[in-house]
Amino acid sequence: MDLFEQNSISNILPFDGVTNYHGIVIDAKQCDFYYQRLIDTIEFKNDEAIIFGKKILTKRKVAWYGAAEFAYTYSKITKTAIIFTKELLALKAIVEKESGETYNSCLLNLYHSGAEGMGYHSDGEKMLKKNGAIASLSFGVARKFSFKHKESKQRIDLVLENGSLLVMKEGTQTNWVHRLPPTTKVSTPRINLTFRTVEL
């Protein structure tokens, strides 16, 4: 590939972490294909979460896939991963090549419109490999994504476009929280895939 055609990969965090934005890694036509295949094949379900001791169902839908049917705990509820589909394996291969890291599981989130988002959190669950990379691949409508430093409260915003890849690693989860803010400007869906490494 011509050097000038390559995406410039840059760390969007000013300190205390490395989060590389790779830009668009899947072209628009392939994105349409994968978006539709994911809608047709992934077993999306409204997520159950425990908030203030009460079980609630989230508006966004989620699904957890993996290399094996391992148990995982997320939002204080233990579930079992579904075995990777062939499209997820193909996407995992693209993301692994781009990021230079490997992954054994994938959490998918389906946001039906801008009314749905995800609040500030960091992905430091006990079962995840400590300081392991988390690769976030987005399909569908572009949405704003924000990081906030846990101490200084400094904020970094970016837009996650159709077919784009963001890789969070080294210190990101320890020192920063991130969120997908709800917005009235968006009325169409988005699917986000976060590839992770679970310690088996």
- Closest approach of Cβ 193 to ligand AKG, in Å? 9
- Among Fe ion, ligand AKG, none, what does residue 192 contact (CB within 5–8 Å per kind)? ligand AKG
Figure out which of the listed residues 19, 104, 136, 162 binds ligand AKG, where binding follows CB under 6 A: 136
Q: Does 123 bind ligand AKG (CB under 6 A)?
A: yes
Non-local CB neighbours of 191 within 8 Å, separated by 6+ positions = 35, 38, 39, 108, 109, 110, 111, 138, 139, 140
Closer of 32 and 123 to Fe ion (Cβ): 123
CB nearer to ligand AKG: pick between 2 and 159: 159
- Judged by CB under 5 A, does residue 123 bind Fe ion? yes
User: Using the rule CB under 6 A, which residue among 81, 107, 135, 141 binds ligand AKG?
Assistant: 107
Residue 48 binding Fe ion, by CB under 5 A = no
Please say which residue, 84 or 147, places its beta carbon nearer to ligand AKG. Answer: 147
Question: How many residues of this chain bind ligand AKG (CB under 6 A)?
Answer: 11
Residue ranges in contact with ligand AKG by CB under 6 A: 107, 109, 118, 123, 136, 145, 160, 178, 180, 192, 194
